[in-house]
């Protein structure tokens, strides 16, 4: 049977409708995706600019105008963990790798200075030559300055986190030492609310410094330096499994 050319072809009209519908859907989806990408880009850029403005002076003082490898490393490590802008965070991560290498060189040179100083101190001072006495004096000043650099706390801009050190002792005999440490800890800018007697601390193989978040590692290392200056050795032990139940900046010091 021959079709009447004067009658509309409904199948073709349906096809055109489907094509237009698909084109509209694709256009809408693309529009939404592009809008989201552009919006994300502006937000990311805004966040980046805000961060730069917020930390510009601080970063200039502690990085550009500062040769202190410890402060630079701590600052880079902090920003590489907490910076919300992904692009800026990647930059901080790369910068951290550089200053961490400088930090390791600094520690290596400090260890050499300490070894040499010990050699001179073990000798009878009356047998030291004039040049050795001068070297000893210079090394004493150098090692002392290095320890000051290593152990100094860092205050971050607009940071509401004040590290808190909870001290646990394994016996009452350790309380007097813990009280002396409390004063040193507070001087470093930390809080130390009290000393608790915990029997399990006395069973430890060594004194321990425990921290619960990656961002608190620097606080733990500064505390380790404070103890070292008091001739107390302590190992640092991360306990990230308790991070959800502890507040940021929480440090525990266990004295066996």
Domain ranges, ordered by start, for the chain: 11-152, 164-255
* Token pair 């430890």: residue: 204
**CA–centroid distance for 55 within its chain:** 16
* CATH, range 164-255: 3.30.70.2390
HSE-up of residue 216 (Cα within 13 Å, Cβ side): 26
Comparing 186 with 153, the larger pLDDT belongs to 186
- The contacts of residue 129 (CB under 8 Å, 6+ apart) are none
User: Please, which pLDDT band fits residue 77 given cuts at 50, 70 and 90?
Assistant: confident
User: Residues 238, 244, 246, 250: is their CA dihedral positive or negative?
Assistant: positive
Mean confidence (pLDDT) of the chain: 78
Question: What's the predicted TM-score (pTM) here?
Answer: 0.45
pLDDT band of residue 62 (cuts 50, 70, 90) is low
d(CA 213, CA 211): 6
In this structure, the chain runs to a length of 256
Sign of the torsion angle spanned by Cα atoms 149, 150, 151, 153:
positive
Write phi, then psi, for 7 (nearest 5 degrees): -85, 140
Q: pLDDT-based confidence at 190, cuts 50/70/90?
A: confident
Q: Is 212 helix (H, G, I), strand (E, B) or coil?
A: coil
- Which of the pair, 35 or 148, is modelled with greater confidence? 148
Over 80: is that where the pLDDT of 86 sits? no
Q: Give the pLDDT band (50/70/90) at residue 17.
A: low
């Amino acid at each position: 049977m021959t079709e009447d050319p004067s009658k509309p072809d409904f199948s073709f009209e349906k096809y055109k409708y489907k094509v237009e519908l698909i084109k509209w859907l694709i256009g809408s989806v693309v529009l939404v995706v592009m809008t989201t990408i552009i919006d994300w880009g502006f937000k990311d850029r805004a966040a980046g600019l805000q961060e730069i403005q917020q930390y510009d002076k601080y970063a200039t003082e502690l990085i550009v105008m500062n040769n202190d490898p410890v402060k630079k490393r701590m600052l880079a490590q902090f920003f590489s963990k907490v910076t919300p802008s992904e692009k800026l965070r990647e930059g901080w991560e790369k910068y951290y790798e550089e200053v961490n290498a400088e930090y390791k060189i600094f520690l290596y040179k400090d260890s050499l200075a300490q070894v040499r100083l010990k050699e001179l101190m073990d000798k009878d001072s009356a047998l030291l030559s004039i040049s050795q006495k001068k070297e000893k004096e210079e090394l004493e000043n150098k090692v002392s300055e290095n320890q000051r650099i290593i152990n100094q706390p860092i205050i971050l801009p607009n940071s509401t986190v004040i590290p808190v050190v909870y001290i646990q002792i394994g016996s009452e005999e350790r309380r007097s030492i813990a009280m002396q440490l409390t004063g040193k800890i507070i001087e470093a800018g930390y809080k130390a609310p009290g000393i608790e007697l915990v029997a399990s601390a006395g069973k430890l193989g060594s004194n321990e410094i425990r921290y619960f978040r990656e961002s608190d590692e620097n606080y733990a290392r500064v505390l380790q330096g404070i103890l070292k200056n008091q001739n107390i050795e302590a190992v640092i032990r991360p306990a990230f499994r308790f991070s959800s139940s502890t507040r940021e900046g929480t440090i525990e010091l266990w004295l066996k």
